[in-house]
Amino acid sequence: MSEKLLEVRHLQVYFPIRRGLMKKVVGHVHAVEDVSFSVRRREVFALVGESGCGKSTTGSAILRLIEPTGGEVYFNGENLGKLTEEEMRLKRRDMQFIFQNPYSSLNPRMNVWKLLSEPLKVHFSLSPQELRERVEDMLRLIGMTPDQLERYPHQFSGGQKQRISIARALITHPSFVVADEPVSALDVSIQAQILNLMMELQQEMQLSMIFISHDLNVVRHISDSVGVMYLGSIMETGDTEEVYRHPVHPYTQALLSAVPSHDPAHKKQHIVLEGDVPNPAAPPSGCPFHTRCSRCTEECKAKKPELKEIAPNHFAACHHL
């Protein structure tokens, strides 16, 4: 059996720009541009980058919550793009999504029992007793109790809502989960509890996971490997500790230089990026990062660099490596 559970090849997602009375397409927003990476079994792969770089769109396109414009996604060796809508619906029993904001992702008209039992009713044929046991077991697993089953989302705190969202995603016992910034909408005091819960569940259920975040400290804490995105493209990828200790792409170096150090004696030079992120509706030619890069040359402006291996399992897209 292959060690790779998920393989993303040259993924593209473009959104049309429509104008006028006839809503004519006048251009496209290049949200995801030629993204490739793989996720091993029982691995946590993190996607990091600035807001708007295409992280969440990538996660949604992998599960076909958004239809990709181009590229291929293989899950257990099967091309998801070739599946019919019904086949994809059945496949989602093994592939689930944890949304960023539990305040909007939970139906306010459904109590906890309905929220957690519905996925089981869709994907399995269980007796009422089996259904009850599965729901109560999952509730205990996330640190809540069966006496809360009749309550509605508005009766819970933000942390409890996110626990319910996690339970709903894991109730079908998937092997793969996309977690889209699952702690960014929570108070800092609650974030650590949810992160620790997710790490425990990932180990206990032997999950593979794509963890999407812009918080580099969180990513280092939870992930095995990491991909750094900028303007819809992967700039650098590799084992998390290797990338954090030896960042080679100028963008990764700038991101990590902005992370506060826990050691007051350790001082590092803060790299300030000049200019703004380009408009994804009119992306620059060549390297996406060249408009803000201090190493930029004519080659960078004319030709987009490909990801190349600069150390074992450590790849970067830069002409100067």
Specify the pLDDT at position 269. 75
Nearest CA to 97 among 66, 130, 143?
Answer: 66
**Measured between alpha carbons, how far is 304 from 319 in angstroms, rounded to an integer?**
9
Q: What confidence score (pLDDT) does residue 267 get? A: 67
φ and ψ at 276, to 5 degrees?
Answer: -110, 165
Instruction: For residues 31 and 151, give the distance between their C-alpha atoms in angstroms, rounded to a whole number.
Output: 39
**Whose structure tokens read 């060690």?**
3
Do the beta carbons of residue 221 and residue 237 sit within 8 Å?
A: no
162, 186 contact by CB (below 8 A) = yes
Q: Which residue has the tokens 């091993």?
A: 40
pLDDT score for 1: 39
Q: What is the pTM of this model?
A: 0.92
Tens-digit pLDDT profile for the chain (321 aa)?
A: 358 999 999 999 999 999 988 889 999 999 999 999 999 999 999 999 988 899 999 999 999 999 999 999 999 999 999 999 999 999 999 999 999 888 888 999 999 999 999 999 999 999 999 999 999 999 999 999 999 999 999 999 999 999 999 999 999 999 999 999 998 878 888 899 999 999 999 999 999 999 999 888 889 989 999 999 999 999 999 999 999 999 999 999 999 988 876 666 666 677 878 878 899 999 999 999 999 998 899 999 999 999 999 999 999 999 998
Kindly state the DSSP code that residue 93 receives in the 8-state scheme. T
| Sequence spans of domains, the chain | 4-94+176-256+307-316, 105-171
Alpha helices, DSSP H, located in 3-66 = 55-62
Fold of 4-94+176-256+307-316: Rossmann fold (3.40.50)
CA-based nearest residue to 232, from 53, 92, 71: 53
